[in-house]
Amino acid sequence: MRELKLMKGNEAIAEAAVRYGVDGYFGYPITPQSEVMETLMAMRPWETTGMVVLQAESEVASINMLYGGAGAGKRVMTSSSSPGISLMQEGISYIAGAELPCVIVNVVRGGPGLGTIQPSQSDYFQSVKGGGHGDYKLIVLAPSSVQEMADFVGLAFELAFKYRNPAMILSDGVIGQMMEKVEFDEYKPRWTDEEVVKNNPWGTMGKTPDRERNIITSLHLQAHEQEAQNIKLQAKYKEIQEKEVRYEEFMCEDAEYLMVAFGSAARIAKKSVEMARAKGIKAGLLRPITLFPFPFKEIDAFSDRVKGILVPELNAGQMVEDVKLAVNGKVKVEHYGRMGGMIFSPDEVENALEELIIGG
Amino acid sequence: MKEEIIIAGFGGQGVLSMGKILAYSGVMQGMEVSWMPSYGPEMRGGTANVIVILSDESISSPIVHEFDTAIILNQQSLDKFEKAVKPGGLLIYDGNGITHHPTRKDINIYRVDATAEAVKMKSVKTFNMIVLGAYLKLKGVVEMENVLKGLKKSLPERHHHLIPMNEKAILRGGEIIQEISVVE
């Protein structure tokens, strides 16, 4: 029996983390995601599941606490918003290099710089193309509802541990701040110390006489060793690309025009599709759920079927580059965006479809 | 049924909590709901608004720029949102502090003097429930039984002793909406 609540996306992240059996949350407050830590503090999970909730002195400290906790094989997570995530990039690169699982939630606000506290999707590049230094990838999930905010906590941890790779939940101020109905699973117990050791034999949980010591590092001074590590990482990313693509289609069966949108923009675009359909325009929506791995093949499958693709995003045009890569010039692709925390309305997007794609 | 509502006024007037109670009432009635606040640098005395959508079907966009109903509690919000009501839609406003009254002819406009009534009832904090009661009288989107359940759900337990007072305010709102006239 799942439990039904009315909650903000940020609150759902916190509730889901406790219920999933997360071992530690380390964070630093920033709008529009401060409710994540506020909810955790109010829940006092250290008294029930034993989960640690700690306000660090900065985002740099939070991400390095994650590095330590993840190195010991624990389920650890943090959340922040754009400027805070920028501060974490060095640590994220180290965690990716050392191949450790953890979950990072970014409730994006407008930038660059301190920017605005209003919603934006302008951290797409930072999330899927690097952000920190070196050749690495995060597994990136883009929730578009409060339910997905809750569900993706567990999914992100599962994928992170399966591939020993940091996973990011890329949300924004719309999904973080709005309330919707959300259903939760029963509480799951945290891993015992024995389970941590058994499930994560690579973790630094104390050396036993029967094995060599485990070393967690992202430092390989010999170039050939670093290259070997890079080759291993790239093989892993290829496997993730092959096996873990997730997306959702809405009214795509007979679509002549396609929209590709993620997260909050996908919610707005869904209504735009309904509006277009009401006018007799056969529009459809493909919503990438994983931004890495990106549904390249699945979007390319529409190249021969549709007359044009519109990519509405709350940014200056970021995911549109990946959509263009996917279709490789076979069909017209245009971007429509608002920036700096401004949010387009469903009819603005529908108009853009008519002007840029159908009439353009 | 689908009802797209904007509630707008000063921060501190209970705009967000009115929306939350309405949304919770929808949940209690088995509807799909969304509650999207303006969470900008608003503060007490600044402006605050929330979009609440109640629907029998799943809600695509929680953000809309046109509304079936606008519940307006100050002049700035009236200036901003009168034009955002769909033709044939409903605008309810509290007359307190309003100098430029709404003028549109293609929407239904009602005035509820909830601020004055709350003072009369010696219960200034339940002002927003008077407005909610007025709205529910005009558009019975949720049953009163579910509103009371929603109220109970959205108030922390330590405030549950205030429920009868809020219920009274909701009912009073329904009564005084009878006394107001449609603005010509």
Give me the CATH number covering residue B174: 3.40.920.10
What pLDDT shows up at residue A2? 77
Interface A:B, Cβ pairs < 8 A: 66
Q: Reduce the DSSP state of residue B132 to 3 states and report it.
A: helix
| Chain B environment of A10 (Cβ under 8 Å) | none
- Is the CB of B36 less than 8 angstroms away from the CB of A174? yes
In a domain, residue B184? The reply is: no
Task: State the CATH class of domain A3-195.
Answer: alpha beta
Helical H segments across A106-248, by residue range: 124-128, 146-163, 173-177, 193-199, 223-243
**Percent share of chain A, pLDDT over 70:** 100
Instruction: State how far the Cα of A78 lies from the Cα of A62, in Å rounded to an integer.
Output: 7
Average pLDDT, chain B: 91
Is residue B162 assigned to a domain? yes
Q: Which residues on B lie below 8 Å from A39 (Cβ)?
A: none
> In this model, does residue A86 exceed pLDDT 90?
yes
Range of the domain at B18: 2-179
3-state secondary structure of A25: strand
> What values do phi and psi take at A280, rounded to 5?
90, 10
> What pLDDT, on a 0 to 100 scale, did the predictor assign at position B41?
67
The CATH classification of domain A247-358, taken from the options 1.10.3720.10, 3.40.50.920, 1.25.40.10, 3.40.50.300: 3.40.50.920
Bigger pLDDT: A91 or A1?
A: A91
pLDDT at B168: 94
Residue of A nearest to B41 (CA): A117
Give chain B's count of helices (H) and strands (E): 6, 6
Residue B61 lies in a domain: yes
CB < 8 Å to B34, chain A:
178-180
Common-topology check for domains A3-195 and A247-358 = yes
Mean pLDDT value of segment A261-287: 98
Task: Look up the ipTM and state it.
Answer: 0.93
pLDDT at A360 (0 to 100): 73
Tell me what the mean pLDDT of segment A15-32 comes to: 98
> Average pLDDT over chain A, rounded to whole?
97
> What pLDDT is attached to residue B80?
94
User: What is the percentage of chain A residues whose pLDDT exceeds 90?
Assistant: 97
Q: Tell me if B72 sits within 8 A of B92, measured CB to CB.
A: yes
| Inter-chain touch B33–A181, beta carbons under 8 Å | yes
Contacts of A181 in chain B (CB under 8 A): 27, 32-33
Q: Which residue of A has its CA nearest to B24?
A: A6
Residues in B 110-129 with any Cβ partner in A closer than 8 A? none
Residue with the two structure tokens 């889901």: A16
In a domain, B121, yes or no: yes
Residues of A with CB under 8 A from a CB of B: 4, 6, 31-32, 117-118, 173-174, 177-181, 264, 267-268, 270-272, 274, 343, 345-347
Is residue B63 less than 8 Å (CB to CB) from chain A? Answer: yes
Select the more confidently predicted residue: A1 or A169. A169
**Residue B157: inside a domain:** yes
Delimit the domains of chain A by residue range: 3-195, 247-358
- Which of B39, B41, B65 has its CB closest to that of A177? B39
Contacts of A293 (CB under 8 A, 6+ apart): A139, A240, A241, A242, A244, A245
Facing B24 at nearest CB: one of A6, A32, A264: A6
At residue B178, the pLDDT reads: 58
Cα A260 to Cα A237: distance, rounded to the nearest angstrom: 23
Predicted local confidence at residue A130, as pLDDT: 87
Number of domains within chain B: 1
The mean pLDDT of A70-88, rounded to a whole number, is: 98
Average pLDDT over residues A143-163: 98
Per-residue pLDDT tens digits for A284-295: 999 999 999 999
Nearest by CB to residue B40, choosing from A117, A180, A345, is A117
Per-window interface: B 16-45 vs A, CB < 8 A: 20, 23-24, 27, 32-37, 39-41
Q: Is A274's CB within 8 Å of B60's CB?
A: yes
> Most distant CA pair in chain A: distance in Å?
72
DSSP per residue over A65-85, as a string?
HHHHHHHTT--EEEEE-HHHH
- Which residues of chain B register pLDDT less than 50? 183-184
Q: What is the mean pLDDT of residues A66-93?
A: 98
* Residue range B49-59, pLDDT digits in tens: 999 999 999 99
Question: Between B39, B60, B65, which is nearest A267 by CB?
Answer: B60
